[in-house]
Structure 1
Amino acid sequence: MAVVSVDPLFNRFVMHNEGKLFKSSYPKSFRDLVGTNGVITAQGDQHRKLHTIASNMMRSDALKTRFLTDIQLVLNQTFADLNHNQTILLQDVCRKLAINLMVNQLLGVSSDKDVGEMAQLFSNFVDGCLSVPINLPGFVYHTAMNVSVFL
C-alpha cells in the first residue's frame, strides 16, 4: 500500500513513528542506486541521525550568504537562455534550475559546460532510480548504474 501526504502534521507523525507504525520501502532500482545507508533509504533512528547531519550542513553560513544571490543569477541565466515565444516545459526548466543551484552551491561549479555535464549525469541517475532494474547496455538502469560510480 502507498500513502501520499502533503499535510505537514501527518508527515511529522509518520516520521516520528518510522519503524514503529510505518515502514518506508523503495523500488529495487532506487535502493541499488541510492544505497541502503543513504538519507533517503535509511530507516528509523539512522534516518533521523543522517537527516540531522544533512540539515546542519545545509544551514552553513557560507551557503546562506550566497544562496539568494545564486538563485537570482541562475534564474536570470535560465530565462535569458529561453527564446521569445518558445514553448516552455516547466518540469524541464525546474529540473535545470534545481540542478544548477545544487551544482553551484554544493560543488562551486558554475560554467555552463560543467553544469550541463553534471545535469546530464544527474538526470540519467534519477531516471534510473525509477526504471526496471535490467543491468544491460541500452537500458536506463544500466546507464544509471554507470553514472552512480561518478556521484
Structure 2
Amino acid sequence: MGNKYQNHYQIQINNILDQTQNLCIEKGIDNVSIVDIARSCHITRTTVYNYFDSKEDILWAIFYRHQSSMYEKCVTAIKQASTTYEKFQAYAYTTLSLYKENIYYPIFMDIFGSIYMSASAKKDYQWDNPYNEYQVKPGA
C-alpha cells in the first residue's frame, strides 16, 4: 500500500516540476507564482506547499534534476574514455547532446549558473536540498 502513495507522491512532484518549468519558459521565472503553478497542475496552492516550501525550492529541484541528468550521462561517457583528451571530449559531446535534446536544459543551466555563482558565497544556501542527489556545493 505504501508503494501506491509513494508513486502518487512522485507523480505529483514531477507534475509540479514539469509544469513550473513550462510556465517559466513561457512567462519568465519572475512572472510565475505558486498560484500559476497550482492552476497549471490542476491542484490547489496548499497542495503545492505540501510538496515544496516555496517557488524557489521548486526551481532548485528543477535545476538539480537537470544537473543530475547531466552528471549521470557525463560519468557514463567519461568512464568509457581512456585518455584525458577523450574524457574532455566525452564531457563536451555529452553536454552538447543534452543541449540539443532538451531545450530547457541550457535555459535553466544559464539561469541557475548565475544564481549558483552568487549563492556560492553563502556556505549553506540551498545545498542541503533533498533534490541535490549528488551533493553539489561550491568548492566541493
TM-score, normalization by structure 2: 0.28
Larger Rg: 1
TM-score, normalization by structure 1: 0.26
Q: Which has the higher helix share?
A: 2
